[in-house]
Structure 1
Amino acid sequence: MDRILVTGASGFVAKHVIGELLRAGFRVRGTVRNRRKLTSIQAAMDLLAPGTQDRLEIVEADLLDDAGWAYAMEDVQAVMHVATVIVAEEPRDPSTVIRPAVEGTERVLRFARAEGIRRIIMTSSIATVGYGHGHETGKRTYTEADFTDLTKMRRPWAYCTGKTRAEQAAWAFANGQGMQLTTIHPGAILGPASDPETSISLGLVGGLLDGSTPAMPRIGFAISDVRDVAAMHLAALQHQDSIGQRYLCTGPYQSFEDVATILRKAYPDYPVTLKTIPDWIMRIVALAGGPVRQIINDMGNEKHFDGSKGEKLLGRPYHTSEEAVLSAAESLIRFNLIKAK
């Protein structure tokens, strides 16, 4: 049984990736910044891959520190670099997001190369694909051939900057060192939570369900189901022709109103808003920072992402947007993160 290293093991996506690997028979070593996260990982595996925890090891390693990485790479056949920093609001200091993304990726690849590991599968994002192309109005469809141009962004966005620079660094390192890299690019990741420690992206659903989102911005996004994202990591590992490739893992474009409609139909007793916020108000609010700053680049346009290449790698259809939204809602309620009505 090959051992696979998964970075950021306590994250929403990483837990599902670990579950996929364990169910497929692999041994897994996961990294965390602090072993206090071990309980949530164990709870997730009880749900996602019961009876497999004897093949799971968790070790401490920080993306901004060399300590622990040499051991983490020992007796490992491939690395799935999933770890990243995601924040709900644009930080005052962008380096708190950018440094772990870029330096962390460089550190993971450097230690992998030192241990003789060549196979790397990296969780990237549509943020590295669909920005800086001068698209400010109307619809446009992006593919894996598109790469974000940070020099032409309408507004700076730390997450986009960090992920784009990290992917650029990964391809440069892999090409220079003869490593076998594949990158996976999800959109807004929804789907079922495996334990109460969920992701910021599920807050989109939670905010609509509990009424803390009183009105919706007039934007949309490509939804990705976490189950598809995790399964695509495994599929990339199992298919040699994925080496050197980027894969979008994205479903159809969905507006905030589309998501709210899905939730209102399934949960009619919940206070899901009907109100939207005009773009001009959003632009004024964005000047003050906060979460609006993170979506300002998507206002006034529709970004569609062609996930057909990734779906072919997966070998089955993606979960629908409705499945992703409703499974997220169900797990938020089940874990008492949204009180049942």
Structure 2
Amino acid sequence: MIEGLVVVTGASGFVGKWTTIELLRAGYSVRGSVRSETKAEAVRRAVEAQLGAEALGRLEFVRLDLLSDSGWAPAMRGVSAVMHVAAQILAEEPKDPQVVIKPAVDGTERVLRFAAAAGVKRIVMTSSIATIGYGHGQTSGVRTYSEADFTNLDGMRRSWAYCIGKTLAERSAWAYARAEELELTTIHPGAILGPALDADASISLGMVTGLLDGSTPAMPRIGFVVSDVRDVAEMHVAALQRAESIGQRYLCTTDYMRFEHVADLLRMHYPDAPVTSRVVPDWLLQVLATFGGSVRQIINDVGNEKHYDASKGERLLGRPYRSAEEAVLSAAQSAMDTGLVKQAAR
């Protein structure tokens, strides 16, 4: 079992904050990478709210950039393990895919290279279902994927920068880990929901907030597997604590939910919220996807239903993952509490 000081990249992100909290809860010290002191202060507030002021004595920060070597060598000194959580995630498909792909691929290479140079062997990396369930020729019907599947970028119907970046980064990480004898584990969530600690939360929460405040005028006729951010964070710690996770990929996903089901659930619990019941037809999504934007990020899921067998991850964690309904409702309540949802939806 790894002990001592753990570097968490992207410590101020939605998953990064929760991972930092769970590491501190488990007794580790954390050196979090952030882009600014403002971001660091947000993590401190979240940690203190969850664990109390005592935990802050085991938390420190370094300013690092995934696209620059500056600061990485000293950041790895005295470190027992690295949790590479940082990622560039955009709500809209960028006109230049490299805006997303380059930080994913180059950033992952940089993290592993400086870890190896410092003698740090143990790496736990946040990956995604995007590296598992795409490019396999599924255009209709139901299919279940597992950790044995790896996205085939050449087989995708439409390009998707996040999927490309995550897949190339993970493939590169496994190759580098084999070459340098690093002890790598990858964690693969789906749409990450659950409670936001502050207003700087996951883009996935936009699905919930958009329904609650009425800014989503109509829903795509698709579904997705949900991950509770607390499970994702706890899986990172479980992987760190159990040697059998080395060299393994783990899905951290729960139930498949259709967008309409999310809307129905929110409508039931927030009857005064302007939750839409309108649905965008598939043909219109196909047209809109040719112009890029947010539709391009979901177009590969239109017309099919992808499930993921997460039993391997649940065995590592020692319990079932939280339900999709709990993840959605806790996301909704936290969005209300942190001001992510406009007052009119309350």
Same fold (TM over 0.5): yes
Aligned equivalent of 1:43: 45
Q: Displacement of 1:277 after TM fit?
A: 0.9
Aligned equivalent of 1:185: 188
Deviations 1:155-174 (A, max 9, x none): 11000000000000000000
Q: Displacement of 1:263 after TM fit?
A: 0.5
Q: Displacement of 1:36 after TM fit?
A: 2.6
Q: Displacement of 1:214 after TM fit?
A: 1.0
The correspondence for 2:74, drawn from 59, 71, 74, is 71
Q: Judge conservation of contact 1:286–1:296 (CA < 8 Å) in 2.
A: yes
The whole-number CA distance in structure 2 between the counterparts of 1:109 and 1:236 is: 17
Q: Displacement of 1:34 after TM fit?
A: 2.4
The whole-number CA distance in structure 2 between the counterparts of 1:151 and 1:47 is: 46
Give the aligned residue type for 1:55.
Answer: R
- SS, match of residue 185 in structure 2: strand
Give the aligned residue type for 2:14.
Answer: F
Q: Does 1:53 align with 2:68?
A: no
Runs of 4+ in 1 over 4 A off after TM superposition: none
Q: Judge conservation of contact 1:48–1:194 (CA < 8 Å) in 2.
A: no
Matches within 5 A, 1:153-232: 153-232=156-235
The whole-number CA distance in structure 1 between the counterparts of 2:293 and 2:257 is: 23
The whole-number CA distance in structure 2 between the counterparts of 1:48 and 1:235 is: 19
The whole-number CA distance in structure 1 between the counterparts of 2:261 and 2:176 is: 40
Q: Displacement of 1:78 after TM fit?
A: 0.4
The correspondence for 1:28, drawn from 27, 30, 42, is 30
Q: TM-score, normalised by structure 2?
A: 0.97
Q: Does 1:141 align with 2:144?
A: yes
Matches within 5 A, 1:231-310: 231-310=234-313
Q: Judge conservation of contact 1:186–1:250 (CA < 8 Å) in 2.
A: yes
The whole-number CA distance in structure 1 between the counterparts of 2:14 and 2:327 is: 14
Aligned equivalent of 2:7: 5
Aligned equivalent of 2:115: 112
Q: Does 1:312 align with 2:306?
A: no
Q: Judge conservation of contact 1:16–1:48 (CA < 8 Å) in 2.
A: no
Q: Does 1:325 align with 2:341?
A: no
The whole-number CA distance in structure 2 between the counterparts of 1:58 and 1:91 is: 30
The whole-number CA distance in structure 2 between the counterparts of 1:194 and 1:74 is: 30
- SS, match of residue 329 in structure 2: helix
Aligned equivalent of 1:85: 88
Q: TM-score, normalised by structure 1?
A: 0.99
The whole-number CA distance in structure 1 between the counterparts of 2:35 and 2:154 is: 32
Give the aligned residue type for 2:226.
Answer: I
Q: Displacement of 1:49 after TM fit?
A: 2.3
Deviation larger for 119-128 or 24-33: 24-33
Q: Judge conservation of contact 1:35–1:59 (CA < 8 Å) in 2.
A: no
Q: Displacement of 1:286 after TM fit?
A: 1.3
Deviations 1:59-112 (A, max 9, x none): 111000000101110100000000000000000010010000000000000000
The whole-number CA distance in structure 2 between the counterparts of 1:310 and 1:178 is: 23
The whole-number CA distance in structure 1 between the counterparts of 2:25 and 2:127 is: 23
The whole-number CA distance in structure 1 between the counterparts of 2:135 and 2:180 is: 29
State how many pairs are aligned. Answer: 341
Deviation larger for 46-55 or 322-331: 46-55
Q: Displacement of 1:35 after TM fit?
A: 2.5
The whole-number CA distance in structure 1 between the counterparts of 2:26 and 2:338 is: 27
Q: Displacement of 1:250 after TM fit?
A: 0.4
Give the aligned residue type for 2:135.
Answer: G
Give the aligned residue type for 1:158.
Answer: A
Q: Displacement of 1:329 after TM fit?
A: 0.5
Aligned equivalent of 1:99: 102
- SS, match of residue 47 in structure 1: helix
CA-based RMSD of the aligned residues comes to 0.8
Deviations 1:218-257 (A, max 9, x none): 0010000000000000000010000000000001211101
Aligned residues with identical type, % of pairs: 63
Deviations 1:179-222 (A, max 9, x none): 10000000000000011211111001000101111110000100
Unaligned 5+ runs, structure 2: none
